[in-house]
Structure 1
Amino acid sequence: MSATPIEAMLFDKDGTLFDFHATWSVWAHDAILDLAEGDMDLARHVAREMLYDYEKMEFLPASPFIASTNRQCAEHLAAVLPRTTVDEIEGFLSRSAVSAPLQPAVPLAPFLDELAGQGVVLGVMTNDAELVAHAQLRSAGVADRFAFIAGFDSGHGAKPDPDPLLAFAAVAGVAPSRTVMVGDSTHDLVAGRAAGMLTLGVLTGTALTEDLAAYADAVLPDIGHIPAWMATR
C-alpha cells in the first residue's frame, strides 16, 4: 500500500526555516541589554529569567521564550522590568525582531521551489507576530512562496492549539491527513498531531532528537532533508 500523498506543508519559522541559535540567540544578547537600558547587572538578571546564557550567547533548551508568543514573553519579563509595561515590552520585542540577523537553515528559495514544483502548497505558522513573520520572509526573499503566513495574532490562535494549522489546511484546500507540520519544538509537533497531520521534527532549534521523537513521524537534521524523506515514503 502506498503512503498518503503529501499535498501541503506548514512550517514553523524560528528554529525551522531559520536556525534558532544563529538568529535568535545572537539577537537576544543585544535585545536584553536594550531592555535593561544598559544596566549590565539587570541584563544578567533578565537573561537568567529567560534561561539565556549571556556569556555563551544562547538560549537554554528549557527556556519558555523559545515557543512563546511575544505577549507571553512580555508578561514574563514585566516581572523583572518593573519600570516597563507589558505593552511596551511587547512592542519592543516586535520592533527589534524585524531586524534580527536571520540565518536560514538552508538556502530557502531553491528548497521551497523544489517542494512547490512537486505541487506542495506551502505555509508558515509562527508564535511570533504576523507582521514580523511577513517582514522576515520578505527580507529572506521567499514570502511569495507561501500561500499562508500566520502569527499568534492572526486570529487563529497559537501553537500548540491545532486551530491555526487547520486554518492553513482550509486555505490550502488540502485535508489535514495530507498535510505535514514541520517544526523544531514539541509545541509544533503536538499541534500537528492534534490537527491530524503528519509531523516532522528538525534539529535547527534547541530540542534534541529524544525531545521530538515521540511526537514526530521522523526527526531530520534540517529542512533540507525533507525532499529525500518524501522520496522514501
Structure 2
Amino acid sequence: MTLPPLRAVLFDKDGTLFDFTASWAGWMDGVIETLSDGCAARAGAIAQAVRFDRGARAFDPSSPLIAGTLDEGADLIRPHIAPDRAEGLGDYLLESSKHAAMVPPVPLAPLLQGLRARGLVLGVATNDAEASAHAHLHAAGIAAYFAHVLGYDSGYAPKPAPDMLLGFAARAGLPANSVAMVGDSTHDLFAARAAGMVTIGVLTGLADAATLAPHADLVLPDIGHLPDHLG
C-alpha cells in the first residue's frame, strides 16, 4: 500500500521508536526490586498491579503501563509500597525512567535522516513524560531529527485523546490530514483517527496485527518498513 501524500510523521516512542519489552522490562523489574524493599509479598503485589511477569520479564499485553502515563503507573503502585516510598513515588519513577536503556527495533539515524531528506517534519507524541522522552532521544543520538517532542505533561490531554497530535500539527503549521501517526497501541490509533491523521500501526509493542488492523490504514512489522510505503 502506498500512503497518501504526507508532510509530517509523528511517532509514538515506546513500542515504536523503541522496542517496548526490550526497553522497559529490565527497568520494571528494577523498580519492583527497589520499591518492595526485599519483601516478596510486596514485590508480587506490585507486579500484579502493573501486570508484569517477573519470571518471564514480560508485560501482559493488557498492562496499563503499556500506553499509560507515569502518573497512572504511580497510582497503581502506590497502594502496595511503604508510606515513605509512596511520598516521592512520582519523582522516583520519572528520574529512574530517564535512565532506562532504550532498544531500537531498527537503526534509527539512517531511517530518520532518510525521512527528513524527503522533506517530512518529524515529531514524537508519547504518553511518557516529556523530560524522559528528550533523555531517551538524546541517549539514542536522534534528538536532532525531531522538530517537536510532546509528552503527557506538555500541556495536552494524553492519548487516546487527540489533543497532543493536534498540538503537534499546530506547532508544525500543518493540516492534520497531512500527518501520519505511527504507533504500537490502539491508544495511538484512536488518537490519530480522532485527529484526522493517517494511522500506521507497528508490531514492536505488545499488540498484535489483529488488534491494530481494524484501526489502522497500514500495519507494519516495524518503522523500518515505513519508507517502502511513502509516495
TM-score above 0.5: yes
Write the mapping of 1:26-175 to structure 2, written as runs, cut at 5 A. 26-84=26-84, 88-175=88-175
User: Residues of 1 paired with 2:87 and 2:150: CA distance?
Assistant: 21
Deviations 1:45-64 (Å, cap 9, x if unpaired)? 21111110110001010001
With the length of structure 1 as denominator, give the TM-score of the two structures.
Answer: 0.95
Is the contact made by 2:3 and 2:229 (CA closer than 8 Å) also made in structure 1? no
- What letter corresponds to residue 145 of structure 1 in structure 2? Y
- What letter corresponds to residue 46 of structure 1 in structure 2? I
Matched, 1:206 2:187: no
Q: How high is the sequence identity, in percent, across the aligned residues?
A: 47
Is the contact made by 2:184 and 2:203 (CA closer than 8 Å) also made in structure 1? yes
- SS of the residue 1:199 aligns to: strand
In structure 2, the residue matched to 1:11 is 11
- SS of the residue 1:135 aligns to: helix
User: Residues of 2 paired with 1:157 and 1:86: CA distance?
Assistant: 25
Deviations 1:124-175 (Å, cap 9, x if unpaired)? 0111110111111000011111010011001022111101100101111211
- SS of the residue 2:13 aligns to: coil
User: Residues of 1 paired with 2:138 and 2:213: CA distance?
Assistant: 32
RMSD over aligned CA atoms reads: 1.4
- SS of the residue 1:38 aligns to: coil
Unaligned ranges ≥5, structure 2: none
User: Residues of 1 paired with 2:75 and 2:192: CA distance?
Assistant: 26
- SS of the residue 1:79 aligns to: helix
Is the contact made by 2:124 and 2:150 (CA closer than 8 Å) also made in structure 1? yes
Is the contact made by 1:78 and 1:84 (CA closer than 8 Å) also made in structure 2? no
- SS of the residue 1:149 aligns to: strand
User: Residues of 2 paired with 1:104 and 1:117: CA distance?
Assistant: 21
- SS of the residue 1:128 aligns to: coil
Is the contact made by 2:61 and 2:207 (CA closer than 8 Å) also made in structure 1? yes
Unaligned ranges ≥5, structure 1: none
With the length of structure 2 as denominator, give the TM-score of the two structures.
Answer: 0.96
Is the contact made by 2:5 and 2:230 (CA closer than 8 Å) also made in structure 1? no
